[in-house]
Structure 1
């Protein structure tokens, strides 16, 4: 089971002070948060991709490459890489390069994003979002697995005898998560390829995500990748913690009430009742997160959103201390207890390399960079 954090990189005014961080401050804060994640024992740091204010992470691989040089163990990912408006050739090359620099500590979450205007900015039509996601990933999948690719399709110019460079580290592409909030077509796509499905269940009730995850698991088995229980599932979540719930609610309320995404709508209490947002004591966060297994089955990755809505860096780092010291150790133990033997672990580069060698009947390879 992997635990980590994801960021959307918003630049939001702190409602308690009226101060708005600069873009430089926000970017440096995201790096500090990633380093803190490794320090407190988390497994994953993931950054979103946005191309419009008030967000700053327009170049995720640049940021992740910098973080890779300053960490040793942390898995670096995205949340989301825009498969619809990025050229699949560029995605293939950027993430293979990052793979080499990070010695395999890389995977990628693909999605369509949540900002409609980004489509025309990159010469695409939002009405073609699903077909773009399907076609572009079909090309990306081949670019990472075939040394020479010929390609002709609806949305991009043809490729003739094209080789994406560098080739994936050890010949093993980064593991792919298909992220979705609402689209059954994306769950189907993840199942077809035997990839992971990340249900970013931060805004909608659990019933909606239960349907998506159930569809993904059933179709994963349909395509012959394993049993429904062996499908690779990731979940999002939002938390804010203090020693007791009263302090947590009191401190977080002004951030919630003024957040660009959900402020000025349902109350904090209503939102917590209807979505996975959890604000309270460490034990309340543990209990709420453990319930995810009851709702969705055993899963492989849990990412938390913690640095949004104008929360200052000092507060986010305090949250990470609590998460790493008091919450995640308990979750690891409890979620490992009773976990069926057939449920796979979260994918890593080393595990994917070992599986490839086993399927080929070869001796296990030594991952590139493992001696460094």
Structure 2
């Protein structure tokens, strides 16, 4: 099972000091977090894609290419790549290039994003969001698998005898997860292609995501990719740890209370009881994370959001040290009782091995 972290790259004032990091500080902090993730034994680092303040990661491939040159083992991913407003031709070429530079340590989470105004900024209509996600990915899927593509759709100009370059490394396209927090159409799309489904179950109760993941598993089996329990599922989550639970709650509370997304809403206690957010001791994080398998079945990837809401870099790096300490326990416990026919998360090496059989 893969464990890692994802960042949305928000530039948020620290509520305890009032200081806001500069863009360059935040960008370099994201790089430091990725390097620390590899150092402590995590498997994945994923960056969001945003094109508006207060976020800075507008060019994921630039950042991931830089991180690729400074790491050896870390899988580099996105959270998410905007399949709706990016040209699928550019996605195909950019991530194939990154795949070569990173020796295959690349996959993507495709999504529609959470910022409505981004659509007109890139000449799109938000009312076409689902259609764009479906049509653009259909083209991207072909571009990575066919050397010459003739194509015509509704939302971009036609292609005639087009070859995307560079071709995917070893003729094996990057693995794709389809990310969603609310759209059954995206779960259906992931199932249709036999891709992964990433449920970023951060803000809503588990019952909502049980329905989405259940639909994906059911349709994955329907399309003949394997049994429902063999479908490729990833989950998001949020944690904040200190050795003592009371210290964790006391330190994190001002960040939670003033967070741009969920601040000034439900209390920290209400939120931790109703969502995956865990604020407490390392053992409490282990215990709650292990309940995810009870709720969603055996799954392949667990990513945590740890650097949001104005938390200073020093604190985030301390969190990663603690996460590195508990991940071996999580790996061991998740392996107990896991059916032998449940696959691991696909990697370039495993997909290449399957392709040459």
Counterpart-to-counterpart distance in 2, 1:153 and 1:315: 48
Q: TM-score, normalised by structure 2?
A: 1.00
Structure 2 unaligned blocks of 5 or more: none
* 1:337 corresponds to: 336
In 2, Cα distance between equivalents of 1:290 and 1:34:
24
Residue number in structure 1 paired with 2:113: 113
DSSP-derived class of the 1:72 partner: coil
**2:261 is matched with which residue?**
261
String of CA shifts for 1:45-104, please: whole Å, max 9, x gaps: 000000000000000000000000000000000000000000000000000000000000
Match of 1:350 in 2: 349
Deviation at 1:357, TM superposition (A): 1.1
Q: Give the whole-Å Cα distance in 2 for the aligned partners of 1:299 and 1:106.
A: 19
Q: CA deviation at 1:214?
A: 0.3
Work out the CA distance in 2 between the residues paired with 1:286 and 1:357. 38
Which stretches of structure 1, 4 residues or more, deviate above 3 A after TM superposition? none
The reply to whether residue 294 of structure 1 matches residue 294 of structure 2 is yes
Summarize deviations over 1:289-339 as a string: whole Å, max 9, x none: 0000000000000000000000000000000000002x1010000001111
Equivalent pairs counted in the alignment come to 357
Task: Provide, for residues 223-265 of structure 1, a one-character-per-residue CA deviation record: whole Å limited to 9, x for no partner.
Answer: 0000001100000000000001100000000000000000000
- Which residue matches 1:191? 191
- 1:6 Cα deviation (Å)? 0.2
Structure 1 residue 166: deviation in Å? 0.1
- With normalisation by structure 1, the TM-score equals 0.96
The correspondence of residues 1-372 of structure 1 with structure 2, limited to 5 A, is 1-325=1-325, 327-358=326-357
Give the Cα separation in 1 of the matches to 2:83 and 2:201: 20
CA–CA distance in 2 between the matches of 1:334 and 1:152? Answer: 49
Deviation digits for residues 8-37 of structure 1, max 9, x if unmatched? 000000000000000000000000000000
Secondary structure at the aligned position of 1:213 is classed as helix
In the alignment, what sits opposite 1:365? Answer: none
Structure 1, unaligned stretches of length 5 or more?
359-372
Q: Indicate the SS of the match to 1:237.
A: coil
3-state SS in 2 of match to 1:317: helix
Any idea what the Cα deviations from partners look like across 1:90-119, whole Å, max 9, x if unmatched?
Answer: 000000000000000000000000000000
Aligned equivalents of 1:165, 1:254: Cα separation in 2: 48
Partners in 1 of 2:166 and 2:209 — Cα distance? 37
CA distance in 1, matches of 2:54, 2:210: 31
